[in-house]
Amino acid sequence: MRLVIAEDSTLLREGLVRLLAEEGHEVLAAVGDAAALLEQTGQHRPDLVLTDVRMPPSHTDEGLRAALEIRRRWPDTAVLVLSQYVEKRYATELIATGGGKVGYLLKDRVMEVGEFLDALERVAAGGEAFDPDVVRALISRSTHADPLARLTARERDVLEKMAQGHSNPGIGAALSISRSAVEKHINAIFDKLDLTDSAAYSRRVLAIVRYLQG
């Protein structure tokens, strides 16, 4: 896999470069700010961009805004965001870009090397990978007029796994339920969200986005 990395912490940036190189990936560039990330992405057209959220100059949300710009300019490039924080607004926008090839993990997840590398491969292959804590933060809200209140506890579990990027078999394995049970729960979620079957859009993505946007 060909990657560009953006991380303002030199120690973490170099650690990621070494880890990914040892796993056989090619790190085309490793930079410390969002402007350099956009420049290097345009120059190298990597398979995947791995970016921090808060970087110079303001250390707010530069990396996440750059991730959205990369999705707009080069939709074939996969994007995996790493952060210590959940930036709700832009994280939701990132999910709403649809079409897979996106992920958002908390940095603590990098410590679980196997889990991190699995998420990297999944996003590069066209899937999605969202940290369970990110999903919980995004779907947590007041119960007032909350459409999630229409779902059963098991349907919420299934939706959370969907938002993390799991396939139907993956959801079944994670929740110890059959594949047919997973499909039944997903169809119930679609019905409760009034998402009719259509070739024009992915009900799976819309189900996630609708709840995350509230």
Distances (CA, A) of 73 to 39, 66, 76, 99, 139: 12, 10, 9, 14, 28
**In CATH, what number does 2-140 get?**
3.40.50.2300
Cα separation, 182 vs 161, whole angstroms: 11
Q: Please check whether the two domains, 2-140 and 147-213, share a CATH topology.
A: no
Report the CATH number of the 147-213 domain. 1.10.10.10
Question: Is the pLDDT reported for residue 144 higher than 90?
Answer: no
pLDDT per position as a tens digit, 157-197? 898 888 777 889 999 999 999 999 999 999 888 888 777 77
Six token digits for residue 131: 């940290």
Q: Which tokens go with 102?
A: 């996106």
- The Cα–Cα gap between 40 and 46 comes to 9
Q: Please report, for the chain, the start and end positions of each structural domain, with discontinuous segments joined by +.
A: 2-140, 147-213
Residue 63 has pLDDT above 60, yes or no: yes
Q: Quick one: pLDDT band at residue 124, thresholds 50, 70, 90?
A: very high
pTM of the model: 0.68
Task: Write the single-letter amino acid at 54.
Answer: R
- pLDDT in the model for residue 21: 94
Q: Is the pLDDT of residue 42 over 90?
A: yes
Alpha carbons 80 and 49: distance in angstroms, whole number: 6
Say yes or no to pLDDT of 88 above 80.
no
